[in-house]
Amino acid sequence: MITNKIDYKVYSNKPFAIWANSRIINERLSANSYNRDYLDFAKAKNTFNFKKVSDIARVTAMIGWKGLTTDDYVDEDGVYLLRTVDIKDNYIDLENAVMAKREKVYEQPQIILKQGDIIFSKDGTLGITAIVPRHQNKEMCVGSTLARIRLNSNLDNYYVCAAFMSKIVQAQIGYFTSGIAQPHITQEYINKLEIPIPSPEIQKYIGDKVRKAEELREEAKRLKKEAEEILNNELNVKELLIKIDRYTEKHSWIMNSDINDRMDALYYNPQKITIKKFYKNYNLQKLKDLVDYKKGYAFKSEDYCNNTSTFLLRVSDISNNEVDMCNMLNLPDEFYQEYKDFNLINGDIVMVVTGNTTGKSIVINNNKFKLLLNQNAIRMRIKEGIDISPYYIELILQSQYFQTLLKYSLYQSVQPFISMEFLNDVVIPIIDKTKIENISNLYEKSLNNLFYAKQLIQEAKQDVEDLIEGNFDMSKVKANS
């Protein structure tokens, strides 16, 4: 039994059970409001300087839009309307962001973002945080599920962003959360969140990690784009797009020689047939001759456990060309040897073969954990003796060439899925070896940057937590100054 100075006693850690004095109980009566992390925060308040968000920033958390309709969305020349799904790994990803008419957004200037603003998710998945990058020159605004937090003090906003990500603030978010089907935190409670405030030197030290992560992510984008441009130039994608864009009719004729055992019209789309003919004079090698396939294993829910070094890679754990470790499930460590046919190692390519994200793929890069693959994905591992980079093959699998072939080859049942017949028929265009090496190196460096950016964000969050717990090493700040 543990006692402390804020009037509660811990009777059990698993399940977590406490006795709490009425002095620490207020309007929140849910059990989650008094979990271990929140109680740690309550203790920390006695020994560390905290400030409420309302004292350091102005929060704008819209309930909804004034008359926004589908007619107000545009494909270009608008303002990016950010949603929670557009914040990935604590940065803003505009790849699938929607746009709203500029004049409509300008009706609500309080939702428009500028460099240095902090974005915070207040509905659904709560507490996802990002900062508008210093280099950002695109017009953006927050949608109804996000709040805009604009500092009105001289605090380091990159440090404050890291503090919002830390468990000390996330615990407070859990405390103030309401709603079951759709969790929610109100603007009033966002303002009540308390941020630990260290010295300016420490703020800068931690903020610099978040700034460096931002730079690495931007460099990663540039490197990948460069690799894709070289590949697209070698595959003559510009000319290919001109050819396939000609085919917009609903009906088309095909040759008898192009018909096989598939009888659905989608399979014989003229764009797909055009792509196959376009690349017939290239050096093509079948994917099955370059890689070995292994479909993942259907682990059972009773297999899941806690606190091991072995993780199950699911479809939902594939994000932004990386493995997202945040919500991965643990498996018993002995499973890594028991199910070694389903192991994942660096250089393996993982592709989703069932579900709504069928065709999404990643190459395992810089992974230091024991990973096992679940049944909704397939592993591709370069065959022994084959001298070709998995990074090159992965970019081919992400390319419009492959994704168009895949689009018109999926089996459309309750859930779309990729057949082994399709994969066995896929051919990979093999270009000049020097170009392959260049493309591979660029893409690998891009993924390395993403990996190091994620590490820096984790370090920044840990630094905030170490500050609160009294474990922060000040010598690192002095060495950095």
* SS3 letters across 158-224: HHHHHHHHCHHHHHHHHHHCECCCCCECCHHHHHHCEEECCCHHHHHHHHHHHHHHHHHHHHHHHHH
Largest CA distance in the chain: 83
First to last CA, the chain: 43
The CA-CA-CA angle for residues 22, 25, 28, to 5°, reads 150
User: What domains can you pick out in the chain, each with its CATH number?
Assistant: 54-197 (3.90.220.20), 223-438 (3.90.220.20)
Count of CB atoms within 10 A of residue 29's CB?
A: 8
Per residue of the chain (481 residues), give pLDDT as tens: 334 455 667 767 666 677 776 666 665 566 666 666 776 676 667 778 899 999 999 999 775 566 677 888 898 889 999 999 899 878 898 888 999 999 888 888 888 999 999 999 999 889 999 999 988 789 999 988 999 999 998 999 999 999 999 988 998 898 888 877 789 999 999 999 999 999 999 999 999 999 999 999 999 999 999 999 999 999 888 887 777 766 555 556 666 666 666 555 565 666 777 777 778 888 999 999 999 999 999 999 999 998 899 999 998 888 778 888 778 999 999 999 999 999 999 999 999 988 888 888 999 998 888 999 999 999 999 999 999 999 999 999 998 888 887 876 776 666 788 888 888 888 999 999 999 999 999 999 999 999 999 999 999 999 999 998 888 888 888 777 6
Q: What is the pTM of this model?
A: 0.84
3-state secondary structure of 453: helix
The DSSP code sequence of 43-97 is HHTTTS-EEEHHHHEEEEE-S--SS--GGGEESSSSEEEE-GGGEETTEE--TT-
> % helix / strand / coil in the chain, to the nearest 5?
40, 20, 35
